Amino acid sequence: MLNRECSREDDVLRAVASAYIDDDLRGHIASCAGCADLLAVATSVTDDRRMLMREATIPSSGLVWSRANMQARQQARRLVIRTATLVQIALIAAAIIVAIVVLGATPPRIDYRPLLTIPVFAFLAWLILAPVAVYFTVTED
C-alpha cells in the first residue's frame, strides 16, 4: 500500500459524519484499501466517542469551578509562604553578617568569646535551618 492519501477521503469522512454512503462511494471504497481503512477507523472511533460522551458522568461545572478556585488559592498561599521564608532567610543571613562585621570592628571591651558556645551556635543554626525546613515542607514541587 502506498503511503499517500486518496482524493476521496474527504467524501468518506463526510459520509461517516452523515451516516450515509451513496452507491458510487461504496463502489470506490470496495476497490480502495486506504478508503476502506478510513471508513472502518472513522466509523468505529466516531461511534465510540458518541457512546462515551453519552455515558460520561462528569462532575458539575460549579464543583469544578470551586475546586479550581480553591487550588488556585492554596497555590497562591504556598507562594506567599515561600517568598516570606526566603526573605526571612535573607534577613537572618544579613543580620549575622552585620553582627560579625560589627563585633570584628569594635574593640573588645568584654570578652564575648565564651558566649559563642554550643547553645549559641545551636540557636543560630535553628534560626537558619527552621525557615529552610518550613520552605521544604510547604513546597510541593
Partner 1 sequence: MAITALMLETILPAGQSKAKAAPARMDEESFRAFYERTARQVWAYLVRLTGESQLADDLLQEAFFRFYRAGTHYESESHRRNSLFRIATNLARDHGRRRRRGVDVPLPDNMESLDARHDQRTDLARALSQLKPLDREILWLAYAQGSSHIEIAEIVGVSSKSIKSLLFRARRKLAELLRA
Q: Which positions lie near partner 1, rule CB under 8 A? A: 1, 3-5, 13, 16, 34, 36-38, 40-42, 44-49, 51-53, 55-56, 58-59, 61-62, 64-65, 67-68, 71-72, 75
Toward partner 1, which CB reaches closer, 2 or 110?
2
Query: Which of residues 32 and 89 has its CB atom nearest to partner 1 in the complex?
Result: 32
CB of 39 to partner 1, least distance (A): 9
| SS3 of residue 5 by DSSP | coil
Running DSSP on this structure, what letter comes out for residue 19?
T
N-to-C CA span, the chain: 49
SS3 label, residue 49? helix
- Give me the numbers of helices (H) and strands (E) for the chain, helices first please: 5, 0
The residue (of 83 and 97) whose beta carbon lies closer to partner 1 is: 83
Least separation in angstroms between CB 52 and partner 1: 4
Which CB sits closer to partner 1, 11 or 127?
A: 11
Grid coordinates in use for 132?
529552610
Q: Report in angstroms how near the CB of residue 48 gets to partner 1 at its nearest.
A: 5
Residue with cell 569594635: 106
Please report, to the nearest 10 degrees, the dihedral formed by the alpha carbons of residues 17, 23, 25, 26 taken in order: 90
